[in-house]
Amino acid sequence: MSFEIEKKYRFTQADRERIIEALDDLGAEFVRREFEENIIFSGSALAEAGAIVRIRKTEQRALLTYKRRVESEFDVKKQIEYEVEVSDAAAVESILHELGLRPRLVYEKYRDTWKLRSVEVVLDELPFGLFMEIEGSITGIKEAEILLEAEDLDPEHETYPLLTGRFGKKVGDVIEARFTQ
C-alpha cells in the first residue's frame, strides 16, 4: 500500500513569484512544467469507499490513479494512492466504462514541479485559482514550509475534484473546469 502525504495552499500571483524566487535561492531542482487534463471517474463502489479513480493525461504520458482519503490529525492530507503509467488512456477509459464507472469531473491545470531536499513542491494553476502543494513526510513538509516562508499561506483542505465541483461548469453529465470554456 502506498500513501501520499501532502499539504496544499491557496495563494496569489505575488505569493507564487515569491515562492519561485525562494525555490531558486534554495537551489531547488526544477523538474518540469506540464499541462494536465484530469478525468475523475465515479461509481457506487467508489462512492461508498470515499475514493476516486483518475486518468491524468499530459503530452508525455497518461497515469491511472486510485485515491482514498485517510483521516489525519495534522494539517496535511493523507491518502492511500495507487498509480500506474498507462500506454493507452482511451483503452483504460473504455475499461472503466465497462466496469460501470463514469466520468463526473474534468479539470485542467498547469503544473510546475520542483525537488527541494526530501520533498516535491508543485505550483499549480487551475481555472479557479493558484495553489502550491508540498508532498513528502510530515517532517519534510514542515521543513520546506519554513524554508519557503510559507507558514502564513492559507491551507486549502479541499481536493481539486471538490473545488472543480464547486467552481466548474456543468457540461452534460460532467462538471468541467477548463481554461477554454
pLDDT digits (tens, 9 = 90+) for 90-142: 999 999 999 999 999 999 999 999 999 999 999 999 999 999 999 999 999 99
- Give all domains of the chain, ordered by start, each with its CATH number: 3-177 (2.40.320.10)
CA distance 16 to 38: 22
Q: Which residues contact 126 (CB under 8 A, 6 or more apart)?
A: 107, 108, 109, 160, 163, 177
Q: Tell if the pTM clears 0.95, that is, is over it.
A: no
